[in-house]
Structure 1
């Protein structure tokens, strides 16, 4: 019987997602990594699945790959997402459709399939990567569409955690501040740092440590772990 733990990570080609892949590998997990542009890899402990997570068929393919290749799904990290910062009245129908399909649809389809695999074993963990802005808005960063979609993921944490608490499946979230990743140009780092009470941006390692803390804390469920430089406390 295969007892090696298996993690599925979306949005895994760069930035936080790529850091999470390395973090779970360092714990001895096998990893199935997904993004639209991820490079093909099929190794002893790592396989990649390219595709748009907003497509339900891609979600099915990711979970089937985990089961076929490694036998199970123990952890799902819903990291894939988009952030569109615009004044509310400037959002287009295309902006709305993209945010809903990726941030909400992408979470919904793959989480259903992952939990369905976890239930017979009575063991599993789902982690959603959200944003502190959905709880603590900042006038410098218009973010209503992110709050609408990532806020939905944050709310689902409590609901799913309670629904599955007595069946061995934990559900948590990490709420990052603004993290140094390739999506943020270096010339904007000083501005972004100033949006945090600690006056610095977070790092990919900060988020990875937060997720791995939750992974290794079996008594923690229904939790939003803020890794946000104090944003959730005030500004």
Structure 2
């Protein structure tokens, strides 16, 4: 397993990154640090393979941790995940050896690409003493396919997900309810809710609450623009 430390001062964002990380096969979130100093203390106590590093934090700048890692020779890799999109920050991160850089907000498939590319990198480094040109190119340029690499949560199967997604794409109205798709897919509303919740979590769907004049609110869904790209990693 590849042990990951998330360095992010926003607890909600850190939790999202943890969930994303543990959806990818071969990765385990070993901890969370809310500042550069917390991260340094964590690295002294526990071995970490990969850090997911934010740049802009209230108490510190994540690039200072990256500089510290390179200056002290700590054996850990770093993927920067930050809203910092200025060329100076990106260039500094690359110069200090970041293996990838994701600009917030990002789509899950880009996150998946970063982690699967890194996993392939680790596999080649651990298993090879000599490299072919093709293997070296994959290390340098992160050439890998994310198709079928995403992990499905317990209780969600690829075949049922593909069938539900096909029903969603064929639905004529832009907005649809749990009942709409459950009826066309021929499965229970309880099961459908689980799949729609998953599709919402990975940002293939957006959920909207529709309030009527009486009774409970109705939850309706719509397909997001990046949905097909995201779903290509699952079905």
Do both share a fold (TM > 0.5)?
A: no
Normalised by the length of structure 1, the TM-score is 0.40
Mark the structure with the bigger radius of gyration.
2
